[in-house]
Amino acid sequence: METGDHRFVLCDVELCKGCRMCEMKCATSHLGMSAKEARAAGIELVARNKVLKQDGKKAVLQCMHCEDAPCARACPLGVIQVDDGGIVRVNEEDCTGCGTCAMVCPVGAIDIREVEDPVSGLKRLTAIKCDLCFGKETQACIAGCKFNALSLVSWKEFTAGRQSASHVCQATR
């Protein structure tokens, strides 16, 4: 993959209404059930993106799949990897939730969550972040946004079309 070809979900702050439907679609897609089914089963919906609201603007924060991936470099167990397609992925089953990745993430897109081990039933910590809906044809957040505020872009596309915003993500180069 060439430099600048890594892809991530970009939010157009002029179009985002802050409705949080992208969060809901992300959470239900990863869970494999509807929000109604999850509530009935007492299962917490956990999105891998976050809607932020400040000074009248709304935007979605999620992993930018950095080429140099500081989270992967900092992970003491090596459970965060950048795959051949440029997707930064966390092996959540092997992650211990130490939080090092969250501390070094330049955009604050990694959460440390308590999860229940499906085999032992014990609670443990793990890092979660956007995985671009790995293995699926479309990203749930993009498909779920009725305002078309989200799009999948490469770093090259982002910097070419949004020169004035490139300072926001300088650290992801």
Domain holding 159: CATH number? 3.30.70.20
Confidence band for 4, pLDDT divided at 50, 70 and 90: low
pLDDT at 131: 95
In-domain check, residue 65: yes
In-domain check, residue 2: no
pLDDT at 158: 86
Could you report the per-residue pLDDT of 36-87, keeping only the tens digit for each? Answer: 999 998 888 999 999 999 998 999 999 999 999 999 999 999 999 999 889 9
pTM for the predicted model, two decimal places: 0.84
| 118 pLDDT higher than 90 | no
pLDDT at 165: 46
64-87 burial by CB neighbour count: b if 16+ within 10 A, else e? bbbbebbbbeebeeebbebeeebb
Closest CA to 12 of 132, 136, 153, 167: 153
pLDDT at 103: 98
Query: Can you give the residue range of the structural domain that contains 13?
Result: 7-172
Confidence band for 138, pLDDT divided at 50, 70 and 90: very high
Share of the chain above pLDDT 90, in %: 69
Residue 47 main-chain phi, psi, to 5 deg? -85, 155
Q: How many domains does the chain have?
A: 1
Residue 172 main-chain phi, psi, to 5 deg? -85, 0
In-domain check, residue 1: no
| 14 pLDDT higher than 60 | yes
In-domain check, residue 19: yes
Could you report the per-residue pLDDT of 85-111, keeping only the tens digit for each? Answer: 899 999 999 999 999 999 999 999 999
d(CA 126, CA 107): 18
Residue-averaged pLDDT of the chain: 89
In-domain check, residue 90: yes
In-domain check, residue 112: yes
| 171 pLDDT higher than 70 | no
The tokens 């443990």 sit on which residue? 124
Taking CA atoms, 90 is separated from 41, 77, 106, 156, in Å, by 26, 11, 16, 24
